[in-house]
Amino acid sequence: MTVTWTREQQIQQSWEANADAWTQAIDQNQIESRRAATDEAILQAVLRCEPRRVLDVGCGEGWLARALANRGVQVVGVDGSRALVDRACEKGNGCFRAIGYDEIIADPARLGQSYDGIVCNFSLLGEEIGDLLRSLRQAIVSDGHLLIQTVHPFTACQQQPYIDGWKTETFDNFGGDFREPMPWYFRTVSSWFQQLSEAGWKLCEFEEPIHPQTKIPLSMLMICQ
């Protein structure tokens, strides 16, 4: 019997299959863009907001949650991949829970007490993110900040048509034994801004971390309230 997966389900399946390879890539610092700029960019952006309690949405193996906890921030990390949450729990120094985005949308209260910072670091990969962005508003204090870092559309476009649409990540440049490719949804800059506006978020700051040698933008970072 052939099982047909939706692209959203394929994203989930890819993370389950690749949990060990991803954790190894992070532990061994194998991803150049992260080494060059993006890890430090999101860490410093969160710290500038001076949050006391942060929700890391799509926390993966938990590197950002641990980095923030080491700086005195109380962090809860959630991820839809049980395998990645297990890796995060094994490493400790944080509170990690397996909660999928559909579960957050259905009942934001399951995220716990309100946060003054919510982070989505390269974790908004599907096409339908509006309901999730709206649900996260119910988990944040009135003056709290939502921080989103994602691939830079101009760089990720790779001379293809600059329009929203599905692409495939093969993980070929990450090293390790990645077992399954991952679909992800490409958005233009204006499309990202529209998604945030329609979900009720106000864009306060916009950053474009660049590679220190090539000067190519590696990501874009949006800070919203």
pLDDT digits (tens, 9 = 90+) for 109-132: 999 989 999 999 999 999 999 999
Among 13-17, 34-38, 142-146, 154-158, whose mean pLDDT is lowest? 154-158
**Residue 135 domain-assigned?**
yes
154: containing domain? 7-224
Distances (CA, A) of 154 to 62, 67, 127: 28, 29, 18
160 burial via Cβ count (<10 Å: 0-12, 13-18, 19+) = exposed
For the cut 70, the answer to whether the pLDDT of residue 198 exceeds it is yes
Domain count, the chain: 1
Mean pLDDT of 157-163: 91
* Cβ-Cβ contacts under 8 Å for 141 (sequence gap 6 or more): 114, 115, 116
pLDDT confidence bin for 43, thresholds 50/70/90: very high
Query: Locate tokens 């090293």: which residue?
Result: 175
**Residue 171 domain-assigned?**
yes
**Residue 2 domain-assigned?**
no
**Residue 60 domain-assigned?**
yes
